[in-house]
Structures are given as C-alpha cells and as structure tokens.
Structure 1
C-alpha cells in the first residue's frame, strides 16, 4: 500500500505533537484554583478498594488513549488516499507496438521480426502490433497465430524475394515537400494504441528498430512532428518508447526520446539481439505506474476502532 498525499500524515503527526506538548507543558491555572485540600489522603489511598478502583480506571483510560491514538493514525492514513497497484489475476496486460524504420529486406529487420514471431506464440494476455514508416501492418491483436505469421513473412523478405510483400510493407513514393523523420514514425506507432491520448489499463510500450535519422542532415523539408511533441504524446498516454538503433546515423535524438519516456536505448548487435530484446521486454512499464485507490482496509480498521472506543468509554464512565 502506498499513499497519494504523504503530506497529510506528516502534518497530522506534527499537529498531534504540538497539542500533546501544549497539554503537558502549559499549566492550567483554573484547575489549580479548583483543587481543595483533603485530610487523611494517605489513609484513603491505602484502602484496597481505592487501589482497585484506581487500577481499573487507569487501565480503562490507557485503553481509551491507545484506541484514540490508533483511530487518529487510521484517519490520517484514510485522508492521505491509500493506493495499490493495478493487478490482473491472469498476469500483466501489455500492449506492444513494434515500430520498424529499417528496410524490410535488411537482415536486422529479419532478426527483429523473427524474434517476435517466436515470442508471439508464447503470449497469453498481451496484444502486439506492427507499424512501418508509413502504415499499420498489424493492428494490436491477441490473435497470436496471425501476428506470428505476418511477422514471419516479413522476416523472410530479405531471403525470399516477394515483390507484393515488399510493397505491402512500406510505400516507395517520395514527396517533394515532405520527408519522414524518426519522430514521425514514432508518432504513427504511438497512435496505434487505442485511446493513446490518455493512459490506459494496459502497460504500453513501443519497440523501435531503425536508424537514428531517416533523412540526410541537409534535408530541410518539413516534418509532421518534432521530438518534443513525440515525448509529450508518449508521456500523456503513459507509453514507453524503446529503441534498437541500427548503425549509420546520429542517435542523440532517439536516445533522448527513449530515456525521456522511461524506455531503453541499445545499439543493434546481431550476436546479442535476442538478449537485448529480452532485456527490453523485462523493462516494461511497472505495475507501480498504474495504481488505484484502496481505502477499504483502512476504513474497516477505523470502524472497528470506533466500536472498541465506544465500548471503552462506557467502561471509563462506569
């Protein structure tokens, strides 16, 4: 259990400490004036009946004070809004969008998609999808046979020539006034999550494979999105961006986007790609990122303490 507003119990404990100190240290002159001298008090306090009454009253008062302290602490906890992680009995619900900026015929793409073609058949609650630089190839789905089949087909594109398959992966059209950037591709991948504008119930992550830049450094054609806009989109939708950067281009911007969203940035290494992807999958957004109010236990304890306190006060009055 965690607390949403930690300042509430801190302020409450400080106020309680001040009140106790004031009650103990500040003298009450009115009570001192009311006290009247009594004769033979020593004889009175030695009586067994008197001592029995004092012990009973002391125990009852101590119990009442203890219950009041516990009730006060419980009230502070309830006011601070206790929360708990959102869990699912069937396991974590992950949404994974594969984002490929590398040519489909490149061996890196084949290794990348081949890994997820194998992994998709082991999933149980996850949804997985695939996006290229300009189209959604596989929408988020739990049809793992379908997803694994499509991933496997594209993974074979570099070894088995298939023009229709190549054409379906990405468009060969070039524009005079526009050239895609990594930020544009990542923005397209982010929009593949349902309700991407706001956090969802699932843990969301994008895994990008491609270069750190898709255009030449001197290309001044406008793009659709900036790096800052992509980071803001990911944060707003609680989406983690992970990146596997292929060699040949600067990766500073890609590194910033990945780390700014809590993701992982690695450089493509064909010998350790499976290990790199395993580490990325193990670093998915944690359950602690998704929490909900959990006041039930605290309120039940408060009600129980209230009942016990009422009974103890009756005992004190008797």
Structure 2
C-alpha cells in the first residue's frame, strides 16, 4: 500500500500524540478532589458484584479506545489517499477503469460512422467506471466524461436520420487552410491528445477507436509524422483500434498492431467489428509497477473499516445495557 499524501499521516500522528499527552499529563478533576476515607474498602472490592462492575468498565474502556483508534486510523489513511489496496473499481466490469476515445474520420452521414455512434450510445448504459469521449476531424465533440446521460444524448443526436440529426456543423465544421491539408496522422494525434495527462503513464487504460477511411497522406506539410504518432501512442499507453471504411492501405493495421489493437474492415457489419474490438480491451494495468506510473486511489477498504468502527462505537452503549 502507498500513500499519496504522507504529510496527512504525520500530522494525524502528531495530533494523536498531543491528545494522549494532554490526557496523561494534565491532572484529572476527580483526582484533585479530597475523597473521604472509606472503612473496610477491601471487603467491598472483594465482592463478586464489584469485581464484575470493574471488569465491565475495563472492557468498555478498552473497546471504546480500540474503536476510536481504528476509526481515527481509517480516517487518516483515507485522507492521505491510499493506493494499491483492493477496490471495487478493479472488479467492476472485469477490469480497471478505462478511457474510450472515439476518433471519427468521416461525417455522421457515413453508414459506418452512424452505426458506431448508435452502438456506443447503447454501450454507455453498461459503463460503470469508464469515461468516453469523441473527437472529429477538427474539434473535441465530447471531452472524456462519466456524464453518461450527456454522452448518450450527444451520440444519439448524431446517429439519428438526416432529417432529425443535430447540428452537423457542430460535429465537424468545414475549415479551409492556405498551406495545410487535413491528414490521418494529424487527426489521430488530435484524438490521442484527448486523454488527460498525456505526458504521463497512468493506471487508467486507454482505448482509441478510429472509424473512417485509411486515407493516403497528402504531399503537403503535416504536423506529425507516422513515427511521431506511433511514439505518442506507445508512450501514452494507448491501444489504437480502427474500423476502416474503404480500401485499407495497411498503415492503420501496422499502427494498431504496434499498440496491441486491431484494424478491422467496416464490412457489412460494423457492430461485429466493434464487438471484436471491445472484446479485446487494453490489458489491466493496476498490477504494473512501471516507472512514473500513477497508481489509482483505493480508499474502499479504509473507508469501510472506519465506518464499521463508527457504527460499532455508536451501538456499544446499547450492548452494555443488556
């Protein structure tokens, strides 16, 4: 187990030590009182009733101290943001949290794109820890989000028939350039940079799904080369997948293979290709200990322990009365 904010633990331990010192060193009010001598007290302390009362009081004090200590320790650990403990996030859906970025290289009127939008509009209902985003040729249509209602609504709007579809200009407005032409490498790079903290390796799995043609690279200037694109994908731990419409030149297949992904033809069933891609998500990364990796927070266990101690402490007086 690791702690993100070790300073919180240090401050908590110092505060606990100060409280204990204050209790031990400060004279108690009861001790300052002058008690009247009691005759034959030894006979009283030997009575079974007195012995049981002392035992019950000692047990109550020990249990209370232990529960308070457990609750305090659990609260401090949670505040310090622990990592490496068991968490429900690693079990939901059979894997780690995942970021899914849809990279759309064709207008929503394209049958493959339209089918993809409808597919993920339905898939959003099954998400639990995933984030989903969508990038078109020149804008971030949906930033990575867990607002599933918003994502579903946006995806559904563009998946509707043409006469009911949302503003297509908001999806991919036409932009004219003087000395530049849109190309596939730059589009994929734009989609890659939609993942947060792209310059760091994180435990959040990253999956990019491109849908569109495997267009040839223009003769004009480009912002990113194929090698630079591949380096970005590998460094960021992004699994690149593609559903290729039209002729496949082999460039996407090579890039997908280098990142552990798949490049499949749209064919007659885009849904089948998407099912195949989603059935082979990026490998779980919680167990990896790569240099520079940012482990996910796992507060589940200490939170449950602190809550259990608090409930037990609240119910302890009722147990004593019985």
The CA deviation at 1:292 is 3.5
The answer as to whether partners of 1:85 and 1:288 remain within 8 angstroms in 2 is no
Instruction: Answer with 1 or 2: which has the greater Rg.
Output: 1
Counterpart residue number, 2:227: 228
The CA deviation at 1:268 is 0.4
The CA deviation at 1:197 is 1.6
Counterpart residue number, 2:277: 280
Counterpart residue number, 2:305: none
The CA deviation at 1:95 is 0.4
**Cα RMSD for the two superposed structures:** 2.4
What secondary structure sits across from 1:160 in the alignment? helix
Question: Once the two structures are superposed, what CA deviation does each residue of 1:131-190 show, in whole Å capped at 9, x if it has no partner?
Answer: 00110000111111110110011112x53265x611001121221211111111110111
Counterpart residue number, 1:316: none
Counterpart residue number, 1:45: none
Q: Mapping of 1:213-252 within 5 angstroms?
A: 213=215, 219-247=218-246, 249-252=247-250
Structure 2 residue 115 is matched with structure 1 residue 116: no
Change (3 A) 1:290 1:98: farther
Structure 2 residue 146 is matched with structure 1 residue 142: yes
The CA deviation at 1:288 is 5.5
- TM-score using structure 1 length: 0.60
Counterpart residue number, 1:209: 211
Larger displacement relative to structure 2 (194-203 or 142-151):
194-203
Runs (4+) off by over 6 Å: 83-87
The answer as to whether partners of 2:203 and 2:285 remain within 8 angstroms in 1 is no
The CA deviation at 1:109 is 1.1
Question: Once the two structures are superposed, what CA deviation does each residue of 1:187-239 show, in whole Å capped at 9, x if it has no partner?
Answer: 011101111122112110100000001x6x6x421111111111100111111
Q: Distance in 2 between matches of 1:257 and 1:291?
A: 23
Q: Mapping of 1:14-53 within 5 angstroms?
A: none
Larger displacement relative to structure 2 (171-180 or 143-152):
171-180
- TM-score using structure 2 length: 0.59
Counterpart residue number, 2:163: 160
The CA deviation at 1:84 is 11
Structure 2 residue 120 is matched with structure 1 residue 132: no
* Unmatched segments (≥5 aa) in structure 1: 1-82, 294-318
Change (3 A) 1:116 1:223: same
* Unmatched segments (≥5 aa) in structure 2: 1-83, 291-322
What secondary structure sits across from 2:253 in the alignment? helix
Q: Distance in 1 between matches of 2:102 and 2:126?
A: 17
The answer as to whether partners of 2:205 and 2:285 remain within 8 angstroms in 1 is no
The answer as to whether partners of 1:140 and 1:192 remain within 8 angstroms in 2 is yes
Counterpart residue number, 2:41: none
The answer as to whether partners of 2:105 and 2:213 remain within 8 angstroms in 1 is yes
Q: Distance in 2 between matches of 1:239 and 1:126?
A: 15
